[in-house]
């Protein structure tokens, strides 16, 4: 059965010629104005609409907007006015594609075939049907690490103990924090979120602890800090590893005694706040380098929840992909019903340096670029090149070949030793400059030199 195509153009000669070209493969119906077009849309089911940018006194963009609002039908804009603004307006208004006049039959057929392809209207053996959407707030995953994580979240939620969430960027640390808070006894109480890395040091102290009128230039009235605002509730300190060292003692006092002191105040205030913190940094290393207080680390790390990177839980990738496809299909008013099996395989074999956040962005772009109801290979664009992925695989193979046992520890020690040697060579054995380049203290560097028995001329 042929698919129906509606052509909306006031040029009757063009309508006739396009009908002759397309009628071999499709049922073509034409309209010369918006009134005829909407009357036909009420009576027929169309698989594709071709619409002229300028219909006499009517604006094709306005008609396109109404069509996309009332009918979920792919539309291609035909235009003789090929300016950048014209093309951008067409796409922003919902057009899947555009073609310039005079219309070439070959180009038109190629464009139409992208959106009307009977072989993929129904998911076949080459593709997988997208299951129904998941609950929006759910932490998506079926792997054992995620199941264990959710069990831990359930147990932690019933307590008021501090929680430290660790994991690489993009793994979902804020989502886990939200899960803990929403399932806790404080769920109906204030929930305050602050990113310690996003606020300059000179402002962060006043943001966290508040200030009194006249505490500094511009402090025309008193302002409560985030801890005071979170009283009886929960505060989420994201990127806690970037908290300036000078502020860590004040945070420690809040954890120990529940005491908050505003800038410019001699009085203190007692607050009841549950603290959840998160970081993608190695706090143990920061402690060793005297960049993070050991006593604060112990206070925060009462309960640690570590989120594994996406590459270590590949069985979650397809489920996350389905979730994001459903999410963005709805957002962009697409009807994506399946995904090619080759795409799923490609997604599962990718390294995902940016974790779930990177996957989300890749799927979002794929939904936007999808030409029909199926996510295909041509819609998938990774942030990293294939060469980088191949390079990573070669490196990993070399690591396991050369460090067959205690791989993680021995390889890290090997890299650490080589980096120290190379940095010493660059800086002509200057330990201060070497330590600065490596981002460690000179004391830590001296310990490493002893550990690896590296001898150099000290200066």
What H or E segment, with its residue span, contains residue 396?
A: helix 386-402
Token pair 């009332």: residue: 70
Domain ranges of the chain: 4-116, 144-306
Q: What is the pLDDT along the chain (459 residues), one digit of tens a residue?
A: 678 999 999 889 999 999 988 888 889 999 999 899 999 998 888 888 999 988 888 888 898 988 888 887 888 888 876 566 677 778 778 888 888 888 888 888 888 877 775 444 446 678 888 886 555 545 788 888 988 898 899 899 989 999 999 999 999 999 999 999 998 999 999 999 999 988 887 789 889 998 888 777 777 888 898 999 999 999 999 999 999 998 999 999 999 999 988 888 878 899 999 999 999 999 999 999 899 999 999 999 999 999 999 999 999 999 999 999 999 998 988 888 889 999 999 999 998 989 999 999 999 999 988 877 889 888 898 865 444 454 455 577 678 777 877 888 888 888 989 899 888 888 888 888 888 888 888 888 888 898 888 877 655
Instruction: Give the pairing type, strands 127-129 and 338-340.
Output: antiparallel
Query: 144-306 has which CATH code?
Result: 3.40.50.300
Instruction: Give the pairing type, strands 274-279 and 163-166.
Output: parallel
Angle between helices 245-257 and 201-209 (to 10 degrees): 10
- What are the backbone dihedrals phi and psi of residue 403, each rounded to the nearest 5 degrees, phi first? -130, 70
Strand partners, 170: none
Token pair 């190695």: residue: 282
Contact predicate 302/256, CB 8 Å = no
pLDDT of 352 reads 92
Integer Cα distance of 243 and 420 in angstroms: 27
Distance set, CA 395 to CA 347, 392, 401 (Å): 20, 5, 10
SS3 assignment for the chain: CCCEEEEECCCHHHHHHHHHHHCCCCEEEEECCHHHHHHHHHHCCCCEEEEECEECCEEHHHHHHHHHHHCCCCEEEEECCCCHHHHHHHHHCCCCEEEECCCCHHHHHHHHHHHCCHHHCCCCCCEEECCCCCCCCCCCCCCHHHHHHHHHHHHHHCCCCCEEEECCCCCCHHHHHHHHHHCCCCCCCCEEEEECCCCCHHHHHHHHHEECCCCCCCCCCCEECHHHHCCCCEEEEECHHHCCHHHHHHHHHHHHHCEECCECCCCCEECCCEEEEEECCCHHHHHHCCCCCHHHHHHHCCEEEECCCHHHCHHHHHHHHHHHHHHHHHHCCCCCCEEEHHHHHHHHHCCCCCHHHHHHHHHHHHHHHCCCCEECHHHCCCCCCHHHHHHHHHHHHHHHHHCCCCHHHHHHHHHHHHHHHHHHHHCCCCHHHHHHHHCCCHHHHHHHHHHCCCCCCCC
Token pair 């772009």: residue: 365
Integer Cα distance of 104 and 87 in angstroms: 18
DSSP, res 263? B
Tokens of 344: 């799923």
Nearest by Cα to 100 from 38, 27, 14, 19: 14
pLDDT of 124 reads 63
- What are the backbone dihedrals phi and psi of residue 274, each rounded to the nearest 5 degrees, phi first? -90, 130
21-41 pLDDT tens trace: 888 888 999 999 989 999 999
Is the Cα dihedral 15, 20, 25, 27 positive or negative?
positive
Integer Cα distance of 115 and 372 in angstroms: 5
CATH 1.10.1380.10 applies to domain 4-116:
no
155-185 pLDDT tens trace: 999 899 999 999 999 999 999 999 999 989 9
pLDDT of 119 reads 43
Distance set, CA 324 to CA 4, 21, 134 (Å): 31, 39, 9
Is there a common fold for 4-116 and 144-306? yes
């Amino acid at each position: 059965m042929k698919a129906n195509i509606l052509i909306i153009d006031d040029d009757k000669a063009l309508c006739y010629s396009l009908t002759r070209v397309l009628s071999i493969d499709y049922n073509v119906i034409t309209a010369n104005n918006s009134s005829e077009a909407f009357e036909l849309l009420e009576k027929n089911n169309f698989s594709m609409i071709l619409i002229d940018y300028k219909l006499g006194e009517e604006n094709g963009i306005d008609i396109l907007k109404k069509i996309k609002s009332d009918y979920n039908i792919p539309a291609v804009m035909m235009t003789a006015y090929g300016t950048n603004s014209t093309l951008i307006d067409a796409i922003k208004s919902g057009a899947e594609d555009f073609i310039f006049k005079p219309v070439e039959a070959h180009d038109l057929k190629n464009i139409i075939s992208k959106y009307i392809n009977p072989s993929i209207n129904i998911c076949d053996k080459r593709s997988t049907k997208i299951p129904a959407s998941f609950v929006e707030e759910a932490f998506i995953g079926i792997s054992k690490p995620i199941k264990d994580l959710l069990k831990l979240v359930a147990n932690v939620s019933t307590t008021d103990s501090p929680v430290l969430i660790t994991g690489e960027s993009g793994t979902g640390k804020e989502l886990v924090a939200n899960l803990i808070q929403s399932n806790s006894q404080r769920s109906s109480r204030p929930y305050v979120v602050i990113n310690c890395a996003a606020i300059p040091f000179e402002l962060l102290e006043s943001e966290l602890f508040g200030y009194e009128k006249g505490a500094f230039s511009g402090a025309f009235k008193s302002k409560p800090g985030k801890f005071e605002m979170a009283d009886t509730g929960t505060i989420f300190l994201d990127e806690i590893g970037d908290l300036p060292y000078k502020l860590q003692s004040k945070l420690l006092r809040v954890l120990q005694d529940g005491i908050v002191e505003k800038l410019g105040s001699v009085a203190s205030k007692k607050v009841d706040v549950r603290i959840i913190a998160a970081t993608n940094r190695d706090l143990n290393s920061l402690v060793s380098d005297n960049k993070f207080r050991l006593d604060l680390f112990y206070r925060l790390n009462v309960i640690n929840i570590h989120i594994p990177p996406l590459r270590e839980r590949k069985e979650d990738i397809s489920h996350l992909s389905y979730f994001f496809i459903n999410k963005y299909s709805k957002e962009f008013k697409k009807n994506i019903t399946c995904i090619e099996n080759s795409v799923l395989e490609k997604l599962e074999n990718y390294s995902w340096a940016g974790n779930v956040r990177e996957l989300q962005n890749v799927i979002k772009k794929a939904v936007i670029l999808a030409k029909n109801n199926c996510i295909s290979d041509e819609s998938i664009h990774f942030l990293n090149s294939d060469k980088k992925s191949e390079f990573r695989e070669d490196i990993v193979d070399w690591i396991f070949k050369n460090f067959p046992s205690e791989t993680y520890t021995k390889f890290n020690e090997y890299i650490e030793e080589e980096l120290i040697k190379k940095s010493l060579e660059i800086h002509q054995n200057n330990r201060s400059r070497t330590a600065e380049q490596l981002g460690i203290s000179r004391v830590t560097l001296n310990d490493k030199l002893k550990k690896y028995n590296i001898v150099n001329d000290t200066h």
